[in-house]
């Protein structure tokens, strides 16, 4: 993978995309993260699961310094973001963030939502930004929606525009914070199918999710967090299917619904296949 090295950026050995070491985060008296160690390698899909309030979102927000850790270190794409001398905006450009809320500009079309940051942040000219935006709308199965405004799109389509927007910035890795939680159940599968296609393309992904089917079927590694610590981590065949720790078992017994819908199948034509777009 092409890497740009800058001030305070050092190559990471062994293809490491994210390294979190002894991370602590408190809000006042409340200690939310209590010494997290986590490594995500390039091309890996790591899902973080756990009860509400266990610190999953805070962990993700510390990775791109939306929250400042109380102590510990976080290295992303070769830069230690917890080093105060690091240019955090430069590092953030390498990270695609997808949140529960889509945060699209309501007065801009889908394509314009994809081009604005490319032009402002990456200084791409209009034609180039539109070309790249269109290609990424294609990746999420929304080629025919480039002129639609967010209000004219379903929640699932809006989230796919948000994913396409992140992809248009050529991220080295993507962070997803419960990207399907705000969606009607029938729209969840389309978004998960797009995420699954990205995983198949080799995108590095750190995903906080309540979608156990995604964790089970797509993740290379599943991390179970509870009360600010990582209780158990390993392949989905272990953590989801045969958890060792009683706290993991208790959590999974509560959330696993055997009747839950599975992740949408990746269409034969891959992410460009129109069948993703219903």
Ligand X SMILES: Nc1ncnc2c1ncn2[C@@H]1O[C@H](COP(=O)(O)OP(=O)(O)OP(=O)(O)O)[C@@H](O)[C@H]1O
| Binding residue (CB under 6 A) for ligand X from 44, 55, 96, 243 | 55
61-80 residues near ligand X, rule: CB under 6 A: none
Q: Is residue 57 within the footprint of ligand X (CB under 6 A)?
A: yes
Q: Is residue 27 within the footprint of ligand X (CB under 6 A)?
A: yes
Sequence-ordered list of residues with C-beta below 8 angstroms from that of 204, at least 6 positions apart, any chain: 17, 18, 40, 41, 42, 43, 44, 45, 172, 173, 174
Minimum distance, C-beta of residue 95 to ligand X, in the bound complex (Å): 18
- Longest distance between any two alpha carbons in the chain, whole Å: 55
User: Is the CB of 68 or the CB of 147 nearer to ligand X?
Assistant: 68
Q: Is residue 159 within the footprint of ligand X (CB under 6 A)?
A: no
Let me know: does 23 contact 61? Beta carbons within 8 Å: no
User: Is the CB of 32 or the CB of 95 nearer to ligand X?
Assistant: 32
- Output the six-digit token pair for 21: 């070491």
| Binding residue (CB under 6 A) for ligand X from 2, 13, 52, 259 | 52
Angle at 85 between CA 120 and CA 208, to 5 degrees: 65
Q: Is residue 56 within the footprint of ligand X (CB under 6 A)?
A: yes
Can you list the positions of beta strands (E) in 179-220? Answer: 204-208
Q: Is residue 150 within the footprint of ligand X (CB under 6 A)?
A: no
Let me know: does 57 contact 177? Beta carbons within 8 Å: yes
Q: Is residue 53 within the footprint of ligand X (CB under 6 A)?
A: yes
User: Is the CB of 40 or the CB of 276 nearer to ligand X?
Assistant: 40
Can you list the positions of beta strands (E) in 164-212? Answer: 173-177, 204-208
| Binding residue (CB under 6 A) for ligand X from 32, 114, 173, 191 | 32
Token pair 């740009």 is at which residue?
Answer: 4
What number of chain residues touch ligand X (CB under 6 A)? 11
User: Is the CB of 58 or the CB of 213 nearer to ligand X?
Assistant: 58
Write out the residues near ligand X by the rule CB under 6 A.
27, 30, 32, 50, 52-58
């Amino acid at each position: 993978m092409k890497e740009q090295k800058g001030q305070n950026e050092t190559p990471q050995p062994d293809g490491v995309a994210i390294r979190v070491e002894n991370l602590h985060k408190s809000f006042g008296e409340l200690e939310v993260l209590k010494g997290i160690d986590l490594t995500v390698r390039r091309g890996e899909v790591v899902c973080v699961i756990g009860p509400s309030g266990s610190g999953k979102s805070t962990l993700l927000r510390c990775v791109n310094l939306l929250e400042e850790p109380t102590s510990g270190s976080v290295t992303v794409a070769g830069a230690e973001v917890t080093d105060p001398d690091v240019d955090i905006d430069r590092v953030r450009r390498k990270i695609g963030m997808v949140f529960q809320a889509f945060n699209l500009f309501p007065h801009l079309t889908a394509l314009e939502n994809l081009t604005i940051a490319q032009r402002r942040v990456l200084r791409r000219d209009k034609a180039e930004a539109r070309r790249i935006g269109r290609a990424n709308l294609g990746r999420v199965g929304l080629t025919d929606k480039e002129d639609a405004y967010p209000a004219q799109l379903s929640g699932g389509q809006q989230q796919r525009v948000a994913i396409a927007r992140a992809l248009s910035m050529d991220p080295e890795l993507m962070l997803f914070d419960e990207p399907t939680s705000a969606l009607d159940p029938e729209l969840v599968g389309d978004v998960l199918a797009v995420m699954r296609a990205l995983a198949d393309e080799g995108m590095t992904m750190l995903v906080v999710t309540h979608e156990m089917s995604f964790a089970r079927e797509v993740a290379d590694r599943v991390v179970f967090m509870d009360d600010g610590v990582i209780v158990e981590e390993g392949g989905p065949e272990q953590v989801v299917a045969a958890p060792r720790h009683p706290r993991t078992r208790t959590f999974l017994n509560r959330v696993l619904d055997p009747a839950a819908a599975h992740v949408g199948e990746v269409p034969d034509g891959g992410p460009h296949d129109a069948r993703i777009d219903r």
